[in-house]
A and B are shown apart, each in its own frame.
Chain A
Amino acid sequence: MSGTNAAAAGGPAGPDRPPARGVGLLRMLPVTGKIGLVVVAGIVVVALVSLVWTPYDPLQAVPEDRLSGSTLQHPLGTDRYGRDVLSILMAGAQITLLVGCVAVAIAAVVGTPLGILAGMRRGWAEELITRGADMMLAFPALLLAIMAGAVMGASTWSAMIAIGLAAGPGFARVARAGTLRVMSSDFILAARGASQPETRIARRHVLPNIFDLVVIQASVTFALAILAEAALSFLGLGTPPPEPSWGRMLQGGQDYLAVAPHLTVWPGLAIALAVLGFNLLGDGLRDVLDPKTRGRR
């Protein structure tokens, strides 16, 4: 029974088009998706490099160099304390990726099983989960994080957990839709006929077949998490100082908009680029992997 080839059953696309994996997937990504992948990879590399090397210590203040524009020593200038903007930006990539990873992980781990449950069980479980998800989607998600900040004080963790919980319903929706599609296939019927336990069916037959959808959702959610973290840090409810964060750099830049616009432009560009990268990657993956949009265009 366990011989059901999970990879080959990637939806109703038919046998003429085996789902792409590995290098094949890379080749099939549309140009925009490849651009997204390059941007995302670039940010990951910058974050990794910043762990061992940045041009200057991102926390080191040099008061005599404060608010300088682009120079040979400081290609992106310095901030109000005379810290090197390029170094802070590089180190800030760590927080951005950390928040994205943790928030997406929380959302996926909470949302996906609930979505599968809703798709497999139907009845009241489905009703409860879909209604709950709808309710949460209508609830302004960042308010959760703001509330957490009010009670516990601002921290990167409260922001990550709140963003993750808020993104959970998105995963539940996608997982349910995918599960409903998978449940009508013959191999589920066969597994049920062989009286396999439901949890085993969910793990061995449903999850591998909706995994593509979860990956697409993860990429798009990553972009949302970056935006949310930036907004929270901008409000002073995310990453507390002195930890470098792109959103908080913007908050600091606001006071110097007239004299040092580079303090706004560079972190702003970094955020926009990161969000763009993950969005493009997600859209590209959807074009290749999602059976619903496959063959469109």
Chain B
Amino acid sequence: MKVITPQGEHVDLMTLNVGPSHPATHGTLRILAALDGENIAGCVTEMGYLHRGFEKMIEQGTYSQVLPYTDRLNYCSAMMNNIGFCKAVEKMFAITVPDRCIVVRVILSELSRIIDHMVCTCTNLVDLGALTNFWYFFNTREQVYVIWEKLCGARLTNTMTRIGGMYRDTYHGFEDDVRAVLVKIESAVHEVRGLIEHNKIFIDRTKDVCAVSAADAISWGWTGPCLRASGVDRDLRKDEPYYGYETYNFDTVIGTSGDTFDRIMVRMYEMIESVSIVRQALDRLKPGPINTLDARLSLPSRDQVYHDMEALINSFKLVYEGVRPPAGICYDATEAANGELGYHIISDGGTNPYRVKVRPPCFTQYAAYADMLTGSMLADVASSLGSINIIAGELDR
């Protein structure tokens, strides 16, 4: 493509498709770049390769049938998507789940946040050529998946949460397993930090690369670790606390320059904060019911079903029709691993959601990506893409 640059030079730009079939773009993201040598003069991005009509599909089923679909949004931290959706529906019913359920949800959320950050940072480092970190983090992540497996039988897409509680209570020995994995996580983060934090190559590849200012990040609608990396101290767990997050002692981690280095490091240190939250939550984990007793949401016990006609009817109604939230519009958000995961639910009072709009946190980050890349180098495509943690499952829905 022959062009005249803003400086008045005649140059021949090369157009290049980066992705969708590129290892760093997960087969789902496409960048069409105009290259001036190794520099990106300008680029446009495309998405939708993993669009599967999530929002259309969930209008066809009941509220409980939405849950397995939410697993497939951000599949690196599936539990948090379940929890976010259930919390939104529970808000519509105006119920609070039992204390034990809340604490278990906090533990699962924070462990999910840790493994999500692990996948994000270590695959990002693989894209940069630093392979060793991958094994440190994936070995540890595997141990969290063993806990998931023991909890509900599933590893990646758990569907562990139910509207009004959990699929089941934790197993015997859950606390010990979690405490053991926390030590492994701390040690893995320490190892990886030791490999990269003062590594000259890593710093050269990430410092001042694709920096996003605080004002831009806000205007782009960024939330979560990417917003905090730009130096904005905002976290829903602190600002609009839910599930008692205000009673936990933890810090928000913020960056200064909003470059790729900061985005990786914010995640690295957030893992340590999450470890601290999980430890505090384990101390609060007391025996008690895990599911709400509200008959609109919770299946009655088998014993009741066999001996009580009302309970039998209730059980049938809940299985065949599902829950019926009151009619209206409700928005609810949680701080997921990637940022503010919002569910805008419109109910017509029936058994199927009339409309559910997911606000995937990485959508706004990918929208900014073409702007971030302009003026940087081709090699920064992979390094900065990893740092904004685009999960095609929630991006394309």
Q: Determine if chain A interacts with chain B.
A: no
> A residues engaging B (CB < 8 A)?
none
> B residues engaging A (CB < 8 A)?
none
